[in-house]
């Protein structure tokens, strides 16, 4: 709280949540591509 101030915390938390969601979606997409490639090579 000392680094950003109380006013910026909600925006910071929202940005952090959006980043985590985007990372999760990208990871799922990569896993999906890997599964598709594994199924094609079998």
How far is it, in rounded angstroms, from Cα 23 to Cα 15? 12
DSSP per residue, 1-42 = -TTT-GGGHHHHHHHHHHHHHHHHHHHHHHHHHHHHHHHHH-
The pLDDT assigned to 34 comes to 85
pTM: 0.67
Model confidence pLDDT, tens digit, residues 1-42: 567 788 888 999 999 999 999 999 999 999 998 888 777 776
How far is it, in rounded angstroms, from Cα 5 to Cα 11? 11
Distances (CA, A) of 10 to 14, 20, 34: 6, 15, 36
CA–centroid distance for 33 within its chain: 17
């Amino acid at each position: 709280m000392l680094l950003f101030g109380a006013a910026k915390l909600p925006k910071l938390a929202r940005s952090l949540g959006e980043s985590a969601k985007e990372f999760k979606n990208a990871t799922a997409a990569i896993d999906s591509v890997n599964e598709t490639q594994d199924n094609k090579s079998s």
